[in-house]
Amino acid sequence: MVKYDDGMLNDVFQVLSDPTRREIIKSLAVGEMTVMNLAKPFQMSLPAVSKHLKVLEKAGLVSVRKEGTYRYYYLNPKLVENAHEWLMDLRKFWTAQVYNLEHFLDNQSKEDE
């Protein structure tokens, strides 16, 4: 398996463990948005959504662009891609393990006949 920054992976998975933040990430995957637009689907205050955005920003998953009095948030896909690569490496490992187990069980059943 490829070496990954454990601290970065821990931060990404911890941040993404919250369902509200995952929904915010999904929204930002479509394009950049203001806090007001991001808050629409949630039954929470703007400051509460802003707190979630600060956590996402601190983890490096989102960035902000200021234009006049508006702050536009957008997704920073690099860290998500790193986490995805880690998960895919893990999937390759477990797929190989299942294949080896199937192969072993097939050989065992042939020996038992």
Please give the structure tokens belonging to residue 57: 């920003």
Could you tell me the strand order of the sheet in which 33-34 lies?
Answer: 33-34, 70-75, 62-67
Q: Which domains does the chain have, with CATH numbers?
A: 6-112 (1.10.10.10)
- Containing H/E element for 34? strand 33-34
Task: Find the mean pLDDT for residues 85-111.
Answer: 82
Q: Would you state the pLDDT for residue 2? A: 53
Helix spans in the chain (H): 6-16, 19-30, 35-39, 46-58, 77-112
Please give the structure tokens belonging to residue 44: 């929470």
Q: What does the pLDDT look like over 30-89, one tens digit per residue?
A: 999 999 999 999 989 999 999 999 999 998 899 999 999 999 999 987 777 777 888 888
Q: For the purposes of burial, counting CB atoms within 10 Å of the CB of 23, is it exposed (0-12), middle (13-18) or buried (19 or more)?
A: middle
